[in-house]
Amino acid sequence: MILLVLGRIQLLRNNRLKELLTLWISEIIQVTEEEAAWRDYKSSSYAPFLLKYSSIRTIMNRYWQENAMETFYLDKGTTVKFDLRDSLHRDRFL
């Protein structure tokens, strides 16, 4: 990546490697832009909706109960036992 930033990609002899590195940089830029768009959506629309119509505590408890975190673990098969318990104020959100 340093070669691309410094404009020295021409130093590489392998044309396929040059092509792949160039494509890789454009993929990083695209993913970064998509992450920023989702982050903006989450903070401006999704999070306020959840705060208004649901209990974040209950949502997080279900998230942990269903082991949704396993997609982020580096070591497959890792489990974390966590019991937050649902909110006691369910009637507030009905």
The domain segmentation of the chain, as residue ranges, is 14-53, 54-94
pLDDT tens figures, 44-76: 998 888 878 777 778 877 777 777 777 777 777
pLDDT of residue 94: 47
Q: Report the distance separating Cα 63 and Cα 60, nearest Å.
A: 5
Q: Report the distance separating Cα 59 and Cα 56, nearest Å.
A: 5
- Asked if 79 contacts 70 with a C-beta cutoff of 8 angstroms, the reply is yes
Is 0.75 surpassed by the pTM of this model?
no
Amino acid, res. 27 = E
